[in-house]
Structure 1
Amino acid sequence: MTIAILTLRSRLLRAFVTVAALSALSAPAFAQEGAEEARLRKLEAEVRALQRKVFPGGDGRYFEPQIAPGAQAQVQNGQVMGVIPPATTAVTDILVRLDALEAQLQTLTARSEEQANSLAKLELRLAALEDGAGEVATAPASAAPAMAAQASTPPPIDRSTPTAAPAPVAAPSAERLAAVQAITKPQTGDAGDDEYSYGFRLWNAGFFPEARQQLTRFVEQYPDHSRISYGRNLLGRAFLDDNLPEEAARWFLRNYQADKTSPRAPDSLLYLGAAMIAMRDTKRACIALAEFAETYPLIASGRLADEYQSARANVTCG
């Protein structure tokens, strides 16, 4: 009996020592696993934040898994393709995930830097155009003759905006007054549209000073009208076609900056380049034309293709 008891005690002692040794060996593994899991969570948060910055509304659509849930694995040459073999330990699995996340983070960071560089280049071009329009002479251009129906000059415009009020000149001839009077003003029930259409008819007939006066009235009285982009652009054309490129440049730049998606923003940017050519400012003319081609490629090769090619033929850009 005594020998049996001693044998049992010896076996229990060896088992206790074995359990203690195993516990001591597994403790560092659990500690390492906890540290790597914390690192993984941090990297995953950074990737999600950067993904939202580079791809607004980003989700799993931008980072599709190699094997979708429920997809069947393919067997090739006796090996299962597209399936990651099971990790040997939890720590190994975490390290694999960390490597994948770090690769994604590097790709997103590079993409974000490319977008920032592109935006900086566009801002520099726009700043150069603003400087060009700001350096033109501030003296008022020659005045428009009084229109037959309106002898008074238009209300003054703030100095910070382009002005369409030129200095007085000789009174128009009787023949000119009669020709202006022959151009009727539409009466459609939309007062703003009627004002713009009347200005367009005057411009189309070649009465540029009268058209400027009429279009200035429209721009000031109906700043929120659906035709406002057309009005500002046509006002610039009424100056440019009358050999007054400095004032034209101000109106073209103002219309382009107001809303680059507006119907006549492409026209204003293209004619801004034409105005710079007329002012013999080759550098800024080339900037405006390059910006037009880059921002509105479909329009540059479509609706305004002839005007764009004509402008390019009148200037030599490096």
Structure 2
Amino acid sequence: MRKLVLLAGAAMCWAVPAAAQSGLDGRVGKLESEMRAVQRKVFPGGTPSIEPQITGAPAPEREIGAPATPVIADLTQRVGSLEQQMASMTGQIEQAQYRVRQLEEQFAAYRKEVDARFNSAGPAPGTGGPVESTGATTPAPAVPAPGRKPEASAPAPAAGKDPARAKLVAAIEKPSTAQPDEDDYIYGYRLWAAKLYPEAEAQFRKVVADYPRSRRASYAQNLLGRSYLDDGKPSLASIAFYDNYKKMPDGERAPESLYYLGQALMKLNKPADACKVYGELTDVYGAKIDAAMQANIARARVAAKCK
């Protein structure tokens, strides 16, 4: 009889941990499933799973038949910590997505405003027809506010009509190697460095259109914006920079385009929007920003009076 009582007591001791273990198994399985979903969201390229940073202390050896309550309590605490990490990670992802949506909505409204102002402007004086468009991906410039110098659209290079300019363009050496995308980009860079901006703009648009998957596409789109900016066309520059960030976010010049987007917005007297862009740049590319750009961002934030 005494043996039966002991066996019954032992069975009860083991039944409680088993029931708790069953409940934890369900929570752990759910967490693992959610963690995999979050990892697929954060690392769409298939980056290896993140190893949990929370590890419990090694469980002390115990005699057979001893209650398992400390082990279950430790496991419960670890699962609770994992749930908190999951909630924090999910919140950060949602905040980042919200900021991106805000930026997209602001630029969609800005594009619409630019198009509406241009369409209401009518034909350019003396042309007898509509102003030439700047290309399929670049809307025409906005009608300037009073006191602002009008931004010209991007006409075809006039080198053929101006012998002196044609001579300057002809003096720019065209590279000739086995890499046409590299050659076309370098030629555009040389035109830009020589301050032949209309010709450079046309060349950069050609690089992006002809070699959209080349690493030089990001470079060319960024220098297209730089060329517009140097040519006194901040509206066109802002759109070119934003397109580089939006369409080629992993491109090598996407962070630089975000920085110059802020500069273009400052030229357009939009410091509040520039501050949002600088914040987006730091949030998205913080790990890729070198010391020189960090210093530039800090100065730009001061100039824009960012909070």
The correspondence for 1:119, drawn from 83, 89, 93, is: 93
1:35 and 2:19 correspond: yes
1:130 and 2:130 correspond: no
C-alpha displacement at 1:297, in angstroms?
4.0
Q: For 2:213 and 2:156, how far apart are their aligned partners in 1? A: 32
1:218 and 2:207 correspond: yes
Which residue does the alignment assign to 1:57? Answer: 49
Q: For 2:174 and 2:133, how far apart are their aligned partners in 1? A: 21
Query: Which ranges of structure 2 fall in alignment gaps of 5 or more residues?
Result: 40-47, 125-131, 142-152
The correspondence for 2:197, drawn from 188, 208, 223, is: 208
Which residue does the alignment assign to 1:86? Answer: 62
1:97 and 2:71 correspond: yes
How high is the TM-score relative to the length of structure 1? 0.71
- Structure showing greater radius of gyration is 1
Which residue does the alignment assign to 2:255? Answer: 266
Q: For 2:157 and 2:173, how far apart are their aligned partners in 1? A: 24
The correspondence for 2:80, drawn from 86, 97, 106, is: 106
Provide the aligned length of Structure 1 versus Structure 2.
272
Which residue does the alignment assign to 2:44? Answer: none
The correspondence for 1:162, drawn from 100, 116, 138, is: 138
Which residue does the alignment assign to 2:174? Answer: 185
Which residue does the alignment assign to 1:276? Answer: 265
How high is the TM-score relative to the length of structure 2? 0.73
CA contact (8 A) 1:125 1:287 kept: no
Query: Which ranges of structure 1 fall in alignment gaps of 5 or more residues?
Result: 1-16, 68-82, 144-153
C-alpha displacement at 1:206, in angstroms?
0.9
The correspondence for 1:232, drawn from 207, 213, 221, is: 221
**Which deviations, in whole Å up to 9, do the C-alpha atoms of 1:243-270 show, x marking residues without a partner?**
2122211221121123333211111010
Letter in 2 for 1:39: G
In 2 relative to 1, CA 21–257 (structure 1 residues): closer, same or farther, beyond 3 Å?
same
Q: For 1:275 and 1:286, how far apart are their aligned partners in 2? A: 12
| Higher RCO (C-alpha 8 Å, min separation 6) | 1
Note the aligned Cα RMSD (angstroms).
3.6
Q: For 2:291 and 2:156, how far apart are their aligned partners in 1? A: 41
C-alpha displacement at 1:112, in angstroms?
1.7
